[in-house]
């Protein structure tokens, strides 16, 4: 907790640098670069500057990055691609969905997963979540399985691994009549490097897609992605889809560039350090905010390592909706701190998803959507910046209590 007088002093000093830009709930750069990334990029460009070499094809850097990523996650295969969004499209394509086939996915999510299902002609079956973890609730998943269910599609929400053992158990106990055990496909855009019961996210399930977009835990020059799998047949198929379908498959161009892969290798080597700093920043915030009656701080189950891709707070139920929105407005307008809401149910946030997938109104998801509040977190936040963020949040709460 910050004592009221100290909070007043922090806020009286004003916003620390950088003053004149908003501090976003999801900062635009998730990690950071060192000279090593810059050197790697320059080397890769220099190596390509020859008409007999160029930037491709089959650059060694890409193969090295894939092998290193597979070894890091503990999987047999890793396929480098140009984004996680396209990776999710590719993953769902590999299900070969027929009309009416269903894929179960949590409503509290980014829209990429649901767009991928819609894009491949499948039916999104929204499931509810556990409000403590913001991950999908296995009991609710099991209730939604029908003979049309083809896959379970968890997102490792905000850096916390989904309950994979429970999901794999459910998938095995409810085989599809034609395709066998349900496939489990993970969206790990926000969870690169997270661990679940000692195993890296991406080592379990059929396929897992990662994002290296600028704001993510590591980035390959602003865009990029990876898919991991232990299944050799689907690994080969994904490589074909990535490169115009190989000989006998549909495909397009989803490739990562050689320069991105060279930078990705350096970022991967530094990922654990960046994630450690991020966890330390989150733990420092938990200490500062602990004991604030109006807030429920992020939960880390004992067997998981949460990476706090965003720092997700729930306000207490009597602060849901308008009062939560007021906290966000005061923090933004008065203090220049922009909290994200990561994420309300996709059917409430995006009209296109509502139109295509329906609006089931799931009790926990809807409630969480009215109570979430994610102040900016970055591994490099200084103590001064951190105290300012926390002070502005506590001040906003007190202003509302005083009638603001
Ligand atoms: C959960 C989730 N899935 C998928 C994506 C899409 O990733 P990309 O930008 O690499 O396509 C994002 C964010 O960008 C995300 O947060």
Residue-wise pLDDT for 181-227, tens only, equals: 999 999 999 999 999 999 999 999 999 999 999 999 999 999 999 99
User: What spacing in Å lies between the alpha carbon of 28 and ligand 1's midpoint?
Assistant: 13
Beta strand ranges found along 168-305 (DSSP E): 183-187, 195-196, 199-200, 207-211, 225-229, 295-296, 304-305
Residue with tokens 């729930």: 314
CA distance 240 to 246: 5
- Residue 112: which region, alpha, beta or left (left: phi > 0; alpha: psi -120 to 50)? alpha
Give the pLDDT of residue 364: 98
What are the angstrom distances between the C-alpha of 191 and each of 208, 329, 361, 380? 11, 29, 27, 18
Locate the ligand 1 atom nearest the alpha carbon of residue 157 and give its number.
1
CA distance 222 to 213: 5
Of 318, 338, 364, whose CA–CA distance to 133 is shortest? Answer: 364
CA distance 48 to 327: 51
Specify the DSSP element, H or E, that contains 235. helix 232-242
Domains and CATH numbers, the chain: 4-29+271-401 (3.90.1150.10), 35-267 (3.40.640.10)
Pocket, ligand 1, Cβ cutoff 6 A: 83-85, 110, 112, 155, 187, 189-190, 211, 213, 225
Average pLDDT for residues 48-73, to the nearest whole number? Answer: 95
User: What spacing in Å lies between the alpha carbon of 49 and ligand 1's midpoint?
Assistant: 32
Q: Which protein residue has the closest C-alpha to ligand 1 atom 8?
A: 84
User: What spacing in Å lies between the alpha carbon of 305 and ligand 1's midpoint?
Assistant: 20
Please determine, for residue 56, whether its predicted confidence score (pLDDT) is greater than 90: no
Percent of the chain with pLDDT over 70: 100
Helices 60-73 and 258-289 cross at an angle (nearest 10°) of 30
Please determine, for residue 340, whether its predicted confidence score (pLDDT) is greater than 90: yes
CA distance 177 to 98: 14
- Determine how β-strand 183-187 pairs with β-strand 149-152: parallel
Residue-wise pLDDT for 130-164, tens only, equals: 999 999 999 999 999 999 999 999 999 999 999 99
Please determine, for residue 57, whether its predicted confidence score (pLDDT) is greater than 90: no
Average pLDDT for residues 111-127, to the nearest whole number? Answer: 98
Residue-wise pLDDT for 265-288, tens only, equals: 999 999 999 999 999 999 999 999
Q: Which protein residue has the closest C-alpha to ligand 1 atom 12?
A: 189
Structure tokens at 356: 């295509």
User: What spacing in Å lies between the alpha carbon of 188 and ligand 1's midpoint?
Assistant: 8
Pocket test for ligand 1, best of 27, 191, 213 (most atoms within 8 A of CB): 213
Locate the ligand 1 atom nearest the alpha carbon of residue 224 and give its number.
10
Please determine, for residue 32, whether its predicted confidence score (pLDDT) is greater than 90: yes
Average pLDDT for residues 327-346, to the nearest whole number? Answer: 98
- Phi first, then psi, for residue 129 (nearest 5°) are -125, 170
Q: How confident is the model at residue 58 (pLDDT cuts 50, 70, 90)?
A: confident
Alpha-helical (H) ranges within 243-298 are 258-289
pTM: predicted TM-score of the whole model, two decimal places: 0.97
C-beta of residue 301 within 8 angstroms of C-beta of residue 378? no
């Amino acid at each position: 907790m910050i004592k009221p007088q100290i909070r007043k002093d922090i806020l009286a000093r004003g916003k620390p640098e950088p003053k004149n830009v908003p501090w976003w709930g999801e900062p635009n750069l998730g990690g950071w670069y060192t000279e090593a990334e810059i050197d790697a990029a320059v080397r890769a460009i220099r190596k390509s500057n020859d008409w007999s070499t160029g930037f491709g094809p089959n650059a060694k850097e890409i193969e090295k990055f894939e092998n290193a990523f597979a070894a890091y996650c503990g999987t047999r295969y890793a396929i480098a691609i140009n984004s996680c969004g396209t990776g999710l499209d590719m993953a769902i394509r590999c299900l070969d969905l027929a009309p009416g086939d269903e894929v179960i996915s949590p409503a509290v999510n980014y829209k990429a997963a649901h767009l991928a299902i819609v894009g491949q002609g499948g039916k999104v079956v929204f499931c509810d979540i556990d409000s403590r973890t913001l991950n999908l609730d296995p009991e609710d998943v099991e209730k939604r399985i029908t003979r049309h269910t083809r896959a379970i599609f968890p997102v490792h929400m905000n850096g916390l691994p989904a309950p994979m053992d429970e999901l794999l158990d459910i998938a095995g106990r409810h085989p599809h009549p034609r395709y066998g055990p349900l496939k489990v496909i993970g969206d790990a855009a926000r969870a690169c490097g997270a661990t679940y019961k000692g195993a890296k996210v991406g080592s379990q399930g059929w396929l897992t897609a990662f994002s290296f977009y600028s704001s993510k835990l590591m980035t390959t020059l602003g865009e990029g992605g990876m898919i991991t799998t232990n299944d050799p047949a689907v690994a080969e198929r994904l490589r074909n889809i990535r490169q115009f379908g190989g000989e006998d498959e549909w495909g397009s161009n989803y490739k990562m560039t050689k320069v991105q892969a060279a930078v990705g290798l350096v970022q991967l080597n530094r990922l654990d350090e960046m994630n450690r700093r991020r966890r330390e920043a989150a733990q420092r915030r938990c200490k500062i905010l602990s004991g604030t009656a109006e807030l429920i701080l992020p939960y880390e189950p004992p067997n998981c390592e949460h990476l706090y891709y965003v720092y997700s707070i729930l306000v207490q139920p009597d602060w849901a909706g308008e009062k939560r929105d007021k906290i966000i407005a005061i923090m933004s307008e008065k203090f220049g701190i922009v909290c994200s809401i990561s994420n309300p149910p996709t059917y409430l946030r995006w009209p296109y998803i509502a139109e295509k997938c329906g609006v089931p109104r799931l009790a926990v998801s809807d409630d969480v959507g009215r109570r979430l509040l994610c102040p900016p977190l970055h591994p490099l936040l200084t103590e001064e910046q951190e105290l300012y963020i926390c002070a502005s949040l506590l001040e906003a709460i007190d202003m509302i209590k005083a009638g603001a």
